[in-house]
Structure 1
Amino acid sequence: MRPAPFEYHDPRHVSEAVDLLSSLENARPLAGGQSLMPMMNFRYGQFDHLVDLNRIDDLSFIDVDGSSIRIGAMTRQVEMQEDTRLAESVPVALEALSHVGHIATRNRGTIGGSLSHLDPAAELLAVSALLDGVVHLQGKEGKRSVPIEDYVVGYMTPAAEEGELLTSVDWNPWQGDHGWSFREFARRHGDFALAGAAVLMALDEAGSIARAAVTVFGVGPAPVRLKTAETSMVGEIPTRQLFELAGEEAASLEAMQDAVVSGSYRRHLARVLTVRALEEASVRAKDEKK
């Protein structure tokens, strides 16, 4: 099918794009187009105006200063994959990016597009939750920042006001030695994940867990941090039994069901993947201490 008729706009500055999105009726920003174009071709989404962000240079950047990372909304996923600073600061993100579609989609896909589309199985959304991400928005009324946990207000629904544009996202990388893991299950590589888990773990000198972050995604409308598991694991020696308890928390999450899988199967996957991710992160954390 072909998309419904629309008018194309080609701004060169963020302020110009915001003006267009605020003043035009039924307008939608165009980033990489890897999700938007199929939606329009199948007429799942019909928009009167497309505001192309691809020539706004100020939206494409990666700033790494050690204690924080800021990534521009129009930064391509392949650019992130090839950035050695990200590989060193947030290796879990590089692991996650290897699961994002295929090289052709990563060449065009952007982090801002992913965080605006908000597919529940989106890997970069899961990583942003794991790293206590903060999204930056700009509209006619000015700029504001929204933590990821408050940014997802429903199924594929961001907490963006009409006319607001996502301009960048901040990640808070862990300092010091730590382990990581990113696990997901899809019917085939490149498909949307049915469920997944991402983990960060640091050990103290005695080998006990000093800090842990666990995110489960693809199960409900938004990624979920397993706060109870994160707290209860601190001070404990990493063991399979301990990780199984975290897996039970993952299995207790409310899960979506669709034509592909049931909610109970998603919860089963969440439990298994959480345990495996914790095991892998603990092994890497031990290796980092050597």
Structure 2
Amino acid sequence: MIPSAFDYAAPTTVQEALGLLDAASSAGDEVKLLAGGQSLIPVMKLRMADPSLVIDLGRIPGLSGITDDGAHLTIGAMTPHHVMATDPLLAAHLPLLQMAAATVADPQVRHRGTFGGALVHADPAGDMPAPVLAAGATFTLSSANGTRTVDAADFFRGYFTTAVGEGEILTSILVPKYTGWGAHYEKFTRVSQQWSIVAVAAMVRVEGGVIAEARLGLTNMASTPLRASSAEQALAGCALDADAIAVACSHAADATEPVSDLNGDADYRRHLVTVIAKRAVLAAVGLPHTGMRLAEA
């Protein structure tokens, strides 16, 4: 199918884009912002989205790139996934985001798709929301009234729903540095480039031969990304031992609400996430997946 007819605008400043948003809102028009288009264009072709105006953010300078701001990295919302996957600042200070970006779809999608676009799309099976939640990121939203910030814990509201309000544009994401932490993004799919059936974003700080702190984000275990709080607490003080880590990660499914679909029912996902969490944490602390078999999943 092809989309319905729509008007197209390509502003060159954030202020111009916000003006177009405000004018369309006043006229009662439905507007969609175009970032990389890897999610929007397919749903427009299926006419699941039928905007009268599409505002392309791709010509606005300053919305792409990664900068070091001391204790944080600032990532422009229009930064492509392939840049995330190869950026040296992320490799040094936020390897979890780099690992997750490298798993997104295929090279073509990674070159077109954007970090901010994936976050605003808020697909519960998407790969970028859980890592930013685990990292405690802060989102900067711009509107005609100025800017406001939203913590990652408050950003994701439900299926394909975020805190971005009418007349707002996500312009950047501020993420604390985790220099020296171990990290790993473990994704389970049945076929290459499939959406995650379950995935776990893990960051672990080791001190004195034990896990001092762990941060785990869960993909596709509810309508929004989740923190595996019970498992995080169980991992704190845990020895660098595969069996001890497995016991701690057995809590990864606590307080989750996974869906049942063709890829597996809710109980299957609850079991699977404990296996995937164990693998992610073991990789993050540099331990091999000793004795793990595909049959676990």
**Which residue of the other structure, out of 124, 127, 130, is the alignment partner of 2:128?**
124
Q: Residue by residue, what CA displacement relative to the aligned partner does 1:157-179 show, whole Å, maximum 9, x if unpaired?
A: 0011111100011111213x322
Matching residue within 25, 35, 38 for 2:39: 35
In the alignment, structure 1 residue 194 sits paired with structure 2 residue 197 = yes
**Superposed CA offset, 1:125-175 (max 9, x none):** 121112111111011222100011100111110011111100011111213
Aligned equivalents of 1:233, 1:248: Cα separation in 2: 10
- Per the alignment, residue 182 of structure 1 pairs with 185
User: Which residues in structure 2 correspond to 1:12-27 (within 5 Å)?
Assistant: 12-24=12-24, 25-27=29-31
TM-score (norm 2): 0.90
Note the alpha carbon deviations across 1:160-201, whole angstroms, 9 max, x for none.
1111100011111213x3221110111222111011011111
Percent identity of the aligned residues?
A: 34
Determine if the alignment matches structure 1 residue 72 to structure 2 residue 82: no
Comparing 86-95 and 163-172, the one that deviates more: 86-95
2:258 is aligned to 255
Root-mean-square deviation (CA, aligned residues, Å) is 1.6
Gaps spanning 5+ residues in structure 2: where?
A: 288-297
Q: What is the DSSP-based 3-state SS (H/G/I as helix, E as strand, rest coil) of the residue aligned with 1:192?
A: coil
Q: Does 1:158 align with 2:162?
A: yes
* Partner of residue 288, structure 1: none
Question: Are 1:244 and 2:246 counterparts?
Answer: yes
Q: 1:62 aligns with which of 66, 76, 94?
A: 66
TM-score norm. by structure 1 comes to 0.93
Asked if the contact 1:226–1:246 (Cα under 8 Å) also holds between the matched residues in 2, the reply is: no
- Give the drift of 1:74: 0.8
Structure 1 partner of 2:295: none
Amino acid across the alignment from 1:83: D
Query: What is the total number of aligned residue pairs between the two structures?
Result: 283
Q: Report the Cα distance in structure 2 between the residues aligned to 1:18 and 1:62, rounded to whole angstroms.
A: 23
Please give the alpha-carbon distance, in whole angstroms, between the structure 2 residues aligned to 1:251 and 1:76. 31
Task: Give the counterpart of 2:270 among 267, 272, 287.
Answer: 267
- For 2:294, the equivalent position in structure 1 comes to none
Could you tell me which runs of 5 or more consecutive residues in structure 1 were left unpaired when the two chains were aligned.
Answer: 285-290
Cα distance in structure 2, aligned partners of 1:188 and 1:5: 35
